[in-house]
Copies of this chain bind each other. A is one copy, B any other.
Amino acid sequence: MPSRDLTASPLLTDLYQLTMLQAYRASGMNDVASFELFVRALPAGRNFLLVAGLETVVEYLLALRFADDELDWLGATGRFDPAFLDSLRDLRFSGDLDAMPEGTVAFADEPLLRVTAPLREAQLIETRVLNLVHYQTLVASKAARCVLAAGGRPLVDFGLRRAHGAEAGLLSARASFLAGFAGTATVEAGRRFGIPIFGTMAHSFVQAHDDEAAAFADFARAQPGNTTLLIDTYDTARAARKVVALARSGVPVQGVRIDSGDLAAHARQVRRILDEGGLASARIFASGNLDEERVRQLVASGAPIDAFGVGTRMNVSADAPFLDCAYKLAEYAGRPRRKRSEGKATWPGRKQVFRRHDGATMAGDLLALVDDAAEGEPLLVPVLRGGARVGPPPTLAALRDHARAQIAALPPRLQALDAAAPYPVEIAPSLRALAAAVDAQTARQ
């Protein structure tokens, strides 16, 4: 049995990382390398990214080490020489990390983070760093669109059951909360991150009772003060009348949930029944295959829906289930590096993003070299130095505030759900010149 949590194992990586490490060691190569993580292009129809996942990367790097049983297993594969495996025993992350804080708005080609460390450390971590930042940024970017569509109505993450595995379920709760969701149904996310947890009831609860009204009464008795009743198991309007009858019998009801059918039409009908029954304060919660487009339509229709449960389509980012991201060598041994693969060429050197504002609104970014003196706010900030944090970890609440401010600072056209004219990201002349110089050096390759 593995010695520890899957999420911390350095064997959760691509084989070639270890193969390359062995080759680097054999060649005596371990100078300082800088790798940068970026997204090559925004998905179709998207106007921005909301960066997330940095804190999990920091925790991964701080805990990075091979356990004895992991090294034993690698040895048993016969692929690695014992001296190399022995060198892994003391491997720790001793390098620097610079990154955009979580909740920062970002665009294509901009480094979201930069790792500067001895080559072997910086290479080894590639797979897991991408795995963490890719998914959380994907979800936060999708969730931010849902938040924009909801126009201030609360959203709750309902998606654990169809998220891609355990960690996706857990981290999508965090990423969507960061992006402005009110909370999640995932209990473990409440425990690990302090995110508010929400829950109503399932259809099975109603079905297990022989009588729907009895199910409502049982649930209300067991959940006083927190009674949201699911009313679409059989007939939504009739169920709403049973809710009214229950309330009239003296049992307080805080809300109802509708999960199927024409949500706008049902919400109007149910609102009328509840209002006429003296339940004007009861809230209507809607769920069922929602995403930002459906939320926008429901809000635009004026449907009397107070809050939304958004699950699967947010957690898997259904319209764009992956980002074209990469973690690429930008500098090694003091020399800038660039690959020129067709359609996948990268910018060389250690880079910084400088953001200008026009009043409170973002006006344009400049992708430049890290030592360029440029106008605007540098977005990548120091996070680790020599393998240690430069400051205490930020609270999730503070990151959520940062995300809200970042989204509010987007030019209005980019806050719309439809694809807009792209945000201006310029390439600094210094960077273009460096790319040309590197190309000249490697042209003979």
The residues of A with any CB-CB pair to B shorter than 8 Å are 2, 4-7, 9, 11-20, 22-24, 26-27, 29, 33, 35, 70, 73-74, 77, 79, 119, 123, 126-128, 130-132, 134-135, 138, 158, 160-171, 185-188, 190-192, 197-212, 218-219, 221-223, 226, 232-235, 238-239, 259-262, 312-313, 316-318, 321-323, 325, 327-329, 332-333, 335, 337-344, 442, 445
- In whole angstroms, what is the CA distance A188 to B29 when docked? 26
Assess whether A168 is in contact with B164, with CB atoms less than 8 Å apart. Answer: yes
> Using Cβ atoms and an 8 Å threshold, which residues of chain B touch A234?
339-341, 442, 445
Supposing A162-B325, A168-B164 touch, asked if A208 and B119 sit within 8 A by C-beta, the answer is: yes
Assess whether B5 is in contact with A342, with CB atoms less than 8 Å apart. Answer: no
Report A433 CB to chain B, min CB distance, Å: 19
> Using Cβ atoms and an 8 Å threshold, which residues of chain B touch A14?
158, 160-161, 185-187, 199
> Using Cβ atoms and an 8 Å threshold, which residues of chain B touch A219?
20, 23
Q: A317: nearest residue on chain B (CB-CB)? A: B321
> Using Cβ atoms and an 8 Å threshold, which residues of chain B touch A187?
11-15, 18, 74
> Using Cβ atoms and an 8 Å threshold, which residues of chain B touch A119?
208
- In whole angstroms, what is the CA distance A211 to B323 when docked? 31
> Using Cβ atoms and an 8 Å threshold, which residues of chain B touch A218?
23, 26-27, 29
Report A139 CB to chain B, min CB distance, Å: 8
Q: A31: nearest residue on chain B (CB-CB)? A: B208
Supposing A162-B130, A164-B168, A171-B165 touch, asked if A77 and B344 sit within 8 A by C-beta, the answer is: no
Assess whether B9 is in contact with A6, with CB atoms less than 8 Å apart. Answer: no
Q: A288: nearest residue on chain B (CB-CB)? A: B344
Supposing A185-B15, A222-B23, A328-B204 touch, asked if A162 and B191 sit within 8 A by C-beta, the answer is: no
Report A398 CB to chain B, min CB distance, Å: 22
Supposing A165-B171, A219-B23, A233-B339 touch, asked if A16 and B202 sit within 8 A by C-beta, the answer is: yes
Residue of B168, B191, B199, B239 near A165 (CB, 8 A) is B168
Assess whether A445 is in contact with B232, with CB atoms less than 8 Å apart. Answer: no
> Using Cβ atoms and an 8 Å threshold, which residues of chain B touch A170?
6, 12, 165
- In whole angstroms, what is the CA distance A156 to B222 when docked? 51
Residue of B19, B74, B171 near A223 (CB, 8 A) is B19
Report A330 CB to chain B, min CB distance, Å: 9
Report A334 CB to chain B, min CB distance, Å: 12
Supposing A223-B23, A445-B238 touch, asked if A208 and B29 sit within 8 A by C-beta, the answer is: yes
> Using Cβ atoms and an 8 Å threshold, which residues of chain B touch A165?
131-132, 135, 164-168, 170-171
Identical chains in the assembly? 2
Assess whether A200 is in contact with B134, with CB atoms less than 8 Å apart. Answer: no
Report A346 CB to chain B, min CB distance, Å: 9
7 intermolecular pairs with C-beta atoms under 8 Å apart: A6-B6, A6-B188, A13-B186, A18-B187, A164-B165, A234-B340, A234-B445
Assess whether A199 is in contact with B15, with CB atoms less than 8 Å apart. Answer: yes
> Using Cβ atoms and an 8 Å threshold, which residues of chain B touch A259?
341, 344
> Using Cβ atoms and an 8 Å threshold, which residues of chain B touch A201?
16, 19-20, 23
Assess whether A166 is in contact with B131, with CB atoms less than 8 Å apart. Answer: yes
Assess whether A200 is in contact with B16, with CB atoms less than 8 Å apart. Answer: yes
Report A312 CB to chain B, min CB distance, Å: 5
Assess whether A188 is in contact with B339, with CB atoms less than 8 Å apart. Answer: no
- In whole angstroms, what is the CA distance A138 to B163 when docked? 11
Report A202 CB to chain B, min CB distance, Å: 6
Assess whether B131 is in contact with A2, with CB atoms less than 8 Å apart. Answer: no
- In whole angstroms, what is the CA distance A211 to B126 when docked? 23
Report A229 CB to chain B, min CB distance, Å: 11
Assess whether A15 is in contact with B208, with CB atoms less than 8 Å apart. Answer: no
Report A8 CB to chain B, min CB distance, Å: 9
Assess whether B13 is in contact with A203, with CB atoms less than 8 Å apart. Answer: no
Assess whether B33 is in contact with A332, with CB atoms less than 8 Å apart. Answer: no
Assess whether A6 is in contact with B166, with CB atoms less than 8 Å apart. Answer: yes
Report A284 CB to chain B, min CB distance, Å: 16
Of the candidates A11, A29, A209, the one having the most CB atoms from chain B within 10 angstroms of its own CB is A11
